[in-house]
Amino acid sequence: MKTQIMQWVDDQKDEIVQSVAALVHYPSVSPHEGGTGGVKKAQYIAQLVEKLGLPQAEWHNAPDEKAPEGYRPNLIVRLPGATSKRLWIISHMDVVPEGDLALWHTDPFTAVVKDGRVYGRGSNDNGQELIASLYAASLLTKRGIQPKYEVCLCFVADEEVGSVYGIQHLIQEGIFQKGDCIVVPDGGNDKGDFIEVAEKSILWLEFSVEGEQVHASCPDLGLNACRIANVFAVELDRALHGAFPDKDSLFNPSVSTFEPTRRNSNVGNVNTIPGKETFCFDCRILPSVNVDAVLNVVSQVKNQVERAEGGSISFSILQRTDSTLPTPSDAPVVRLLESSLREVYGFEPVIGGVGGGTCAAFFRKEGIPAVVWAHEADVAHMPNEYCEIEHLLNETKVFALMMVGME
């Protein structure tokens, strides 16, 4: 059956490609980023669901006063399976703004199909996976093949701006269950061999160092905030890496990282000693490390440097996202995806973690195993975004094999 399924997908190539192209024509930028939301795109998808012979889409609307219609749509399409176990494939309908139009070679919201690609905003992120999941389910329905699991295709709003009106809304509605298998096809690589099962915690800190500004010719009359900041940054870097040397082979790099990043402008001329310095650290912390323990070390170093150098140091948390427990590498959803990837690509998938956050974390927090996988070019959010047609077809095959339970 697997050979037939893959041939059936290839036979539908033109129709699948045109459906991705059609999706591009519906700008679905968040109203919180100046867009109109995704109602028109959701209506198109609901019509496509009906055209493909799938069960009618359920609408789960999240109230949003900034949206022209007063809500943000989320769609669910359910395909009964031979067992009660549920396989969810969750893609998002919203897209990021087009950015500087001068950098685009074509209209961002008018799809162009050429050279084996579909160009347009949202073609890669996340239209490719949305259409692949729909056609995988349609393929089985049209040929009378019952999936092994209940297949639940979910098309959500708001992924690009926090998922409050999308995944988080559906979780609050109680849509998902502990035993569900969750696939979030919204991150991957150009080979398609990486299955993400874990994330590091994210901690962004902004430090403000107060000294006393004076003329550079008489430094003894002031307190150089730049020097204090330099000492503090170096001492903090050493202390954090020394306190948290843990390694986890799921990740690359395998350690927690604590990186000084942005530094704000202090004074506008060379001959002034700055009285204030502001800079940031970006911390990506292994799941085994407690974020509060990191903050305790930050406070200790702050106090030590203040005593040694003078001045005052304060800090604020710009972002904190604590990681959840990883999805076990032998979880059913991982095994199912691994098996399907072997069938389609013939390689051994790589299971690992990432340094940034993904929507899978919302499910892991609820104790539901979730994986992130996609076969996509690294062009999301860029001008001239595109999806590779070969990747699109391969994803359709992988999803279809998962649905029939190719373990």
Token digits for 202?
A: 């994210």
- Identify whether 94 is a catalytic site residue: yes
Angle at 95 between CA 93 and CA 98, to 5 degrees: 155
The Cα 16–Cα 3 span in angstroms is 19
Q: Which of 94, 129, 158, 385 is catalytic?
A: 94
> pLDDT-based confidence at 407, cuts 50/70/90?
low
Which candidate, 128, 302, 101, 285, places its Cα nearest to that of 204?
285
Pair 397, 134: CB distance under 8 Å:
no
Given a cut of 90, whether residue 146 has pLDDT beyond it is yes
Helix residue ranges, H only, 222-350: 225-243, 291-309, 332-345
Task: Please give the helix or strand (H or E) that residue 114 lies within, else none.
Answer: strand 112-114
Pairing of strands 276-285, 257-263: antiparallel
Average pLDDT score over residue span 335-362: 94
Query: For residue 28, what are its two tokens?
Result: 């679905």
Catalytic (active site) residue 159: yes
Global pTM reads: 0.90
User: What are the pLDDT digits (tens) for 181-198?
Assistant: 999 999 999 999 999 999
Query: If you average pLDDT over residues 289-304, what whole number do you get?
Result: 98
Pairing status of strand 86-92 against strand 150-156: parallel
Structure-token match 């949206």, residue found: 67
Tens-place pLDDT, residues 299-330? 999 999 999 999 999 999 999 999 999 999 99
Query: What confidence score (pLDDT) does residue 283 get?
Result: 97
Cα 255 to Cα 187, 240, 245, 285, 360, distances in angstroms: 21, 11, 7, 8, 21
Q: How is the chain split among helix, strand and coil, in percent rounded to 5? A: 35, 25, 40
Q: Kindly indicate the confidence band of residue 1, based on its pLDDT and cuts at 50, 70 and 90.
A: confident
Average of pLDDT values for 270-292? 96
DSSP class of 255: B
Domains assigned to the chain: 2-199+324-404 (3.40.630.10), 201-321 (3.30.70.360)
SS3 274: coil
Please calculate the CA angle 80-85-89 and round it to the nearest 5 degrees.
75
Taking 80 as the threshold, does the pLDDT of residue 200 lie above it? yes
Question: Looking at the predicted structure, is the pLDDT value of residue 131 above 90?
Answer: yes
Residue 358: pLDDT band by 50, 70, 90 thresholds? confident
158, 159, 180, 277: which is the annotated catalytic residue? Answer: 159
User: How deeply is 231 buried, as exposed, middle or buried, from its count of CB atoms within 10 A (0-12, 13-18, 19+)?
Assistant: middle
Assigned token pair, 65? 């006063």
Report how far Cα 349 is from the mean position of its chain's Cα atoms: 20
CB count, 10 Å around CB of 215?
11
How far from the centroid of its chain's Cα atoms is residue 210's Cα? 37
Q: Omega before 260 cis (within 30°)?
A: no
CB neighbourhood size of 14 (10 A): 10
The CA-to-CA distance between both ends of the chain, in Å, stands at 13
Binned at pLDDT 50, 70 and 90, residue 2 comes out as confident
Separation between Cα atoms, residue 34 and residue 74, nearest integer Å = 20
Q: b/e string for 325-363 if b means 16 or more Cβ within 10 A?
A: ebbeeebbbbebbbbbbebbbeeebebbbbbeebbbbbb
CB-CB neighbours of 97 under 10 Å: 15
Burial zone of 183 (CB within 10 Å; 0-12 exposed, 13-18 middle, 19+ buried): buried
**406 has a pLDDT exceeding 80:** no
Confidence of residue 356 (pLDDT cuts 50, 70, 90): confident
Element (H, E) at 276: strand 276-285
Q: CA 224 to CA 392: how far, in whole Å?
A: 57
What digits encode the pLDDT tens for the residues 76-109? 999 999 999 999 999 999 999 999 999 999 999 9
Which of 49, 36, 4, 82 lies closest to 154, judged by CA?
49
Average of pLDDT values for 139-160? 96
Strands 71-72 and 62-63 turn out to be antiparallel
What is the mean predicted confidence (pLDDT) over 128-138?
98
Q: How confident is the model at residue 18 (pLDDT cuts 50, 70, 90)?
A: very high
Nearest to 118 by CA among 391, 399, 386: 386
